[in-house]
Chain A
């Protein structure tokens, strides 16, 4: 799939990710009063080996939010944070963080869901403005578990839906702090052409 995409189209997808997530990270910065930086998004096949981008081990405790996107460019969007990065978000937004997994409560979950909600909302908004697509999302679902278990469950869902594991993905950071966030969007099969048509490329 990826190899069938011309370099030009890959660039276009990367740029869409850049614009969409630029807005998302700005929204997150406004929410938390923390300045986040965004890496240039990459367009690649999603594999569990990419976990090493954010986690030292496949079993490291991570927090994830996933949401189904419906409309003219449907797919699945997900955010993954190592636990330490989720702590930064909890501290910034509610002034406290769970000491360990067993202390995690509904408030902590809803904070992560809300972060995903706002970031994904701005991501979709930016894509709508560029393409004229109508997009809406379901409320994000939450999980805290081994990074590999979270990632593999999402990959299996994509496989089940016969979707390509083509992901627009990026990392965002806080300069000089231990924070890493990982975002990826898995468009449904057939939707890529629709996107290129809308962009006239």
Chain B
């Protein structure tokens, strides 16, 4: 079962949330947006950004860094404080990036481009993606319990699906 909302640190559009140890991070109603979590097993800290676009549409931006993939990843790394040489011990989780309105004459494909940009940024930092549920045409909500590694995914008209990421979050931790 999912936890009550009051126990979950929910990142709204463009927001960043950080939790240590016992925290639960989550997003509600991701459409074309992507929830990206970076988890550091060494410090048991996780940081989540609710990314809206691949990059700032007008170039540089001093707005909320969580809004854009290109500014969100550096901001998450800063929040976690992981040393540069140890970035590969981080684990990434990506959820969202759908395209809800189909049959548009001029589709902007924002969801797909968000996911693609995040892939490229994570690859550049050599951060492995341990879980991903992206693309398609439906909205998603999720909660990730950092203590247990339990990831709960919700879509409309479907029972919540629970994934256990504990192994993925810890196994790689021993290797680093």
Contacts and interface: CB of A to CB of B under 8 A. Distances in A.
A119 interface: no
Interface string B50-86: 0011000110000000010000000000000000000
B13 A143 contact: no
Interface string A40-55: 0000000010000000
A59 B141 contact: yes
Interface in A137-186: 138-139, 141-153, 155-157, 159-162
A154 B43 CA distance: 37
B103 interface: yes
A145 B101 CA distance: 10
B108 A157 contact: yes
A58 interface: yes
Contacts of A66: 101, 104
Contact of A152 (B29, B57, B102): B29
B156 interface: yes
A64 interface: yes
Contacts of A157: 32, 108, 110
Contacts of B149: none
B139 interface: yes
A6 interface: no
The B interface, classified by DSSP as helix, strand, loop or mixed, is loop
A153 B31 CA distance: 5
Interface residues of B, number: 33
Given A102-B157, A145-B139, A156 B33 contact: yes
Contacts of B174: none
B53 A156 contact: yes
A13 interface: no
Of A64, A100, A149, A155, most B-chain CB atoms within 10 Å:
A149
A64 B101 contact: yes
B100 interface: yes
B105 interface: yes
B54 to A, nearest CB: 9
Contacts of A101: 156-157
Contacts of A28: none
Interface in B150-169: 154-157
B108 A141 contact: no
A162 B57 contact: yes
B140 interface: yes
A143 B29 contact: no
Interface in B11-44: 12-13, 28-33
Contacts of B103: 139, 141-142
Given A61-B157, A100-B157, A160-B53, A150 B100 contact: yes
Interface of B: 12-13, 28-33, 52-53, 57-58, 67, 98, 100-106, 108, 110-111, 137-141, 154-157
Given A100-B157, A153-B31, 11 more contacts: A48-B13, A59-B154, A68-B106, A138-B104, A143-B101, A145-B138, A146-B155, A148-B31, A149-B98, A149-B140, A159-B53
30 contacts: A58-B29, A59-B29, A66-B101, A66-B104, A68-B104, A102-B157, A138-B106, A141-B101, A141-B104, A142-B102, A142-B103, A143-B102, A143-B137, A144-B156, A145-B100, A145-B138, A146-B29, A146-B31, A146-B139, A147-B29, A148-B29, A148-B31, A148-B139, A149-B138, A150-B31, A151-B29, A153-B33, A156-B52, A156-B53, A160-B57
